Amino acid sequence: MSRAHVALVVHAGRQDAVALASTTASELVARDIEVTVVALERSAVFGELDALDEIAPDLLVSLGGDGTFLRTARRAHELDVAVLGVNFGRVGYLLNMAPAELHGAILDVLTGAAQIEERAGLCVDVEIDGQRSELFVVNEASLEKTVPGHVVRINSSIDGEPFLSYAADGVLVATPTGSTAYNLSAGGPVLAPGIDGFVMTPVAPHFVIDRSVVLGGEQVLELRVVGERPAVFVVDGLSAATLEPDGIVVCRRHRRRLKVVVLSEVGLGQRLRESLRQGHE
């Protein structure tokens, strides 16, 4: 029987995270568990965790902030393994594990005793540098203005039927996991993490309906850049491309869920309360 293998993905610039990774690795090795520690630098790029393909870990653990978690979660989804995020000060849908609880939580995952939520993510189809790409999105994808003081113009359609045209600072599409992030600050609704669907929210729209639209898991949303100005395409906080007019982004719920380790004693009410409270601090 092969030994269990855990990959610890740590923000290299956070000494508290680096120290926890070191002590946790020692404790796991003492239990005959294989450990790989991957240090992420401050610069965020796609594909920096590709080396984990050769390791085939049973669990990915994120030690850092939301950015570290998002990068780790995308890789966990590609490998179809669970991701566990350690909370270094934030609470919410992403990070709910305190540092002191990490060792026990990892053991619970490896023995099958942990609670794992399956979250709906987005599959976003977009043309980047002349090639069609499908990207998995944990939190949100957005089209945003490129020129200060000028709006970006975006036409939307749902299941092939024209919907609304927006003149706004941007339009974002968020997963239930990401609904407490950019979507919430833009005035969008909070979705329970287990909902099968996603939400579209305009950002500072001009002379148009400013309400969000919640879509079901089987629906397809298309956003097209129109007018004279391009838009920046952003995925989970990273700028992925600049789309010229007539550039199209197609969003749908990804066919495979993201597996997130959560604390069984922390209910939805507490996570919602903490997330909403932070938005006013």
Q: How do residues 228-261 score in pLDDT, each as one tens digit? A: 999 999 999 999 999 999 999 999 999 999 999 9
pTM recorded for the entire structure: 0.89
CA distance 108 to 132: 40
CA distance 260 to 96: 10
The pLDDT of residue 99 is above 80: yes
Distances (CA, A) of 97 to 62, 101, 121, 261: 10, 6, 21, 9
What is the rounded average pLDDT for all residues in the chain?
88
Catalytic residue among 16, 50, 66, 129: 66
Once rounded to an integer, what is the mean pLDDT over residues 58-86? 92
Q: Is 169 a catalytic residue?
A: no
Percent of the chain at pLDDT > 90 equals 67
Domains annotated for the chain, with CATH where assigned, are: 5-119+257-278 (3.40.50.10330), 122-253 (2.60.200.30)
Contact 232, 144 (CB under 8 A): yes
